Amino acid sequence: SLINAAGEGGLLGMVFDPDFASNGHFYLSYTVGVGNGDSLVARYSVVPGSVDLADPTSATVLFGPIPQTTDRHKGGDMEFGPDGMLYLAFGDGGTSISAQDLGSALGKVHRIDPDLPFPHAPTSNPFFGVAGALPTIWARGLRNPWRLDVDAITGNVYVGDVGESTWEEITRLDAGSNGGWPCMEGNACSTGTSCACQAPGLTLPITVLAHAAPDSACAITGGVVYRGSAIPSLVGQYLFTDFCSGSFYRIADPSGTAPTRVDFSSDVQSGGQALRFVVDFACDAEGEIYFVQHYGGGIWKLVARSGFDSFCVAEPNSTGAAAALVASGSPSIAAANLTLTVAHLPED
């Protein structure tokens, strides 16, 4: 009964407090009110003595309500950083000029400290104390940062910013970054008039996907930096996907100066089928990755493929040992480095 689900509204984000085990706090981002709805972030708590039963009367509003100008581009994702701050992503609300307006909460990533008094703005925020600017703003110039990730090790912030008609983008943001919307879509000039295309100081994407083939993207989901231990080859890489294409990608060095995108769709499948319509990524306490499928509501965990099993077992022969057929290399089809070695066969 609290939710206004008009258009792209609804329950849009959830994150646990870093000290959830001791304080029982978690945070929800959702839209309320009538018409286009208003965006807000509230802190809730579990019922005392419980670990999984929420107290619906425990809400404390930390951010908002922010009036929305249309029923689109709500954003709404949240993540805690290793600095203990809560990062909030909001779209431009369908009114692109708001993305550059430092007096508007829309089209921004905000950084708040839930333990500070309202407006919960740390003095280290880039626009704290700037006349006419909201002190919570951490980065601006975004269209619809649908999914947000804060690297648990480096503190780098990555957003999957949904494009308009041509490009989808993954952007790495720093304090004070300007993603360039509405003057830029991806690396290309757009039609916005509130900033200058290719202006000094704009933060360009670390990678883009085209709506046209071969990418055939339509709405970037955004992803996470892998910090788990189950798949060592992926540690430190940024994994993401697009809602429509069913293609999964990884960026080998997302914090570097020349990040490289690699398509590893063939390695992220279930039963040989591509996983499409992914709407969110998350990590557990061990850094392992989960993602959510919209249609069907499936929650998936990214796991390493099992190692090779013996192809056949032979009885001892005249060489004194059993013949063996051993596979080596990667089980990935895309890697194309499978080698079969036969040993302990009798000589001709």
Distance CA 81, CA 105 (A): 20
Residues 6+ apart with CB under 8 A from 116: 122
Tokens read off for 102: 């430092």
| DSSP state, residue 297 | -
Q: Is 324 a residue whose pLDDT tops 80?
A: no
Contact yes or no for 157/87 (Cβ under 8 A) = yes
- Decide if pLDDT at 319 tops 60: no
201-251 confidence digits (pLDDT tens):
999 999 999 999 999 999 999 999 999 999 999 999 999 999 988 899 999
CB 251 within 8 Å of CB 264? no
Instruction: Check residue 130 and give its pLDDT.
Output: 98
Amino acid at 164: E
Helix/strand/coil percentages in the chain, nearest 5: 5, 35, 60
Amino acid, single-letter form, for residue 218: C
Token digits of residue 69: 């100008």
Question: For residues 145 and 38, what is the distance between their CA atoms, to the nearest angstrom?
Answer: 17
In eight-state DSSP terms, residue 23 is: H
- When mean pLDDT is compared over 159-173, 268-282, 290-304, the highest value belongs to 159-173
Question: Is residue 143 within 8 Å of 181, Cβ to Cβ?
Answer: yes
